Structure 1
């Protein structure tokens, strides 16, 4: 039989906990968002390099496509002279003012179309006809009705933004799940409470999508109206440079439009995430 001296180590071994090897730390993976941003930056850098070196070394006609460095120098000179802030400010003011007017009118119309058969009967043919139609064709009419200054430009932008906002709002409000609405009515919710606490929160993602679609449309409309009507603004400066065969000035306006559009679109995306912080899409 086993003596006490031999049994004690075995008993101690049974009592002592099993020493597990430390688990290896998982390797840090790069976030997909960081990868996407890196790829986008790399694409922009490659295209900018092709533009610069292609124009510098004669692969591209420097008059038709001036080097990027010359364009950036022109933007810096205009920035120092004060013309860039004025032009960008006027363009942004016209675009955002017209966009706001279109949203203030379009969202209620879309909600009423979804909730009232009479309103839908009246507006549905107008939206169906006006949505695919090129709105810029109405610019001569707006010039005759209003003026050749900011009023007609802003109304033209509001008119262009109105239709996508109405369509998105109507689609969002007419496709809501009926169970939350019925449940709210069973608990005694009034129509105003249904609107603010049920309809708008549930339709908000699609309404914001319509606003995100309408804002670039408003920016494009603003640039086109400035080109056609002249005056201060990025579009007016570009058309004036084109009349004097100033290709550097034209491309300087294009770069300004790209930067302005990028800032505006990304700002709207941040606002959307902030508003829909409660929505599952924010968690994704």
Structure 2
């Protein structure tokens, strides 16, 4: 007859496994970093690196006229000099301020209106035709009207950005709220939940993934609108600096602005993706 393992033996010996040491959480973090570096993130980095190397190589070989496509090294040198002078931070700060302010105003109006449209027939009857007509329209065509109404300074730019961000968010909010399963709402009501509790604890959480999708669409739309508005109206900001450089045939300055807005856009979009992952950490999409 075989003897059973002594109760005094460690659990690691009786199960044949090694007990996790104090460095296990650190090892888990490094494994996550390794998986990211060898996955999609590494592919994206390699694609961007190949593009930048190709840019520098083509210009150094003289295959493209420097005025049409300046060297990447010259563009980076211009950005570095502008950073030392503080110009980059001023332009980026103003552009980001306008984009963020307009986005927040548009989102603050769009989300409540989208919920009301999904839950109130009269509100939906009034606003649905307006949104259906306004969504596909080029929003920048309203800029002369906003300049006429709000002047030539930041107010008209921010209103233009808010107007552009409004439509994708209100449409996503309306669709997400309307698509909430009615059985879940009826179940919550049967347990005595008030209308406010149903909205706060059932409808909004279930509609949140689609609302965040609308926000993810509105963020780059807001950045694009900001730069275009600055280019059309002039003044400080990335768009204004780019159009000023173009007027003086300064192609290096134009491409410096393109690189700066590309970096800003990448940081902002990745930040929104992180925010979505945090807010939906309870959702099934977080497990994929």
What TM-score comes out, normalization by structure 1 length?
0.89
Residue of structure 2 in register with 1:126 after alignment: 130
Work out whether residues 36 and 42 of structure 2, in 8 Å CA contact, stay in contact via their aligned partners in 1.
no
| Alignment check: 8 A CA contact 1:56 1:62 kept | no
Q: Give the whole-Å Cα distance in 2 for the aligned partners of 1:179 and 1:227.
A: 50
For the aligned residues, what is the CA RMSD? Answer: 1.7
User: What whole-Å deviation, never above 9, does each CA across 1:176-199 have from its counterpart, x for those lacking one?
Assistant: 111110011001111111111011
Change (3 A) 1:165 1:16: same
Larger radius of gyration: 1
Q: CA deviation at 1:283?
A: 1.4
1:1-284 equivalences in 2 (<5 Å): 31=35, 34-284=38-288
Match of 1:6 in 2: none
Aligned residues: 263
**Residue 38 of structure 2 aligns to a residue in which SS?**
helix
Q: Deviations over 1:105-148 (max 9, x none)?
A: 00000000000000000000000000000010000000010110
Deviates more, 1:155-164 or 1:30-39: 30-39
In structure 2, the CA distance between the partners of 1:193 and 1:16, relative to structure 1 (3 Å rule), is: closer
Contact kept in structure 1, 2:95 and 2:238, CA below 8 Å: yes
| Residues in 1 aligned to 2:106 and 2:149: alpha-carbon distance in whole angstroms | 19
CA distance in 2, matches of 1:128, 1:146: 25
Shift of 1:16: 9.4
Question: Structure 1 residue 258: deviation in Å?
Answer: 0.4
3-state SS in 2 of match to 1:31: helix
CA contact (8 A) 2:107 2:169 kept: yes
Structure 2 CA distance for aligned equivalents of residues 60 and 54 of structure 1: 7
Aligned residue for 2:12? Answer: none
Task: Find the aligned partners of 2:184 and 2:2 in 1 and give their Cα distance.
Answer: 59
User: Quick one: distance in 1 between partners of 2:191 and 2:120?
Assistant: 23
Once residues 75 and 166 of structure 1 are traced to their aligned partners in structure 2, the CA distance between those partners, rounded to angstroms, is: 38
* Superposed displacement of residue 31, structure 1: 3.2
Would the aligned equivalents of 2:146 and 2:160 in 1 still touch at CA under 8 Å?
A: yes
Structure 1: gaps of 5 or more residues? 1-13, 23-27
TM-score w.r.t. structure 2 length? 0.88
CA 1:199–1:167: 2 relative to 1, 3 Å: same
Find runs of 4+ consecutive structure 1 residues off by over 4 angstroms.
Answer: 14-17
Match of 1:5 in 2: none
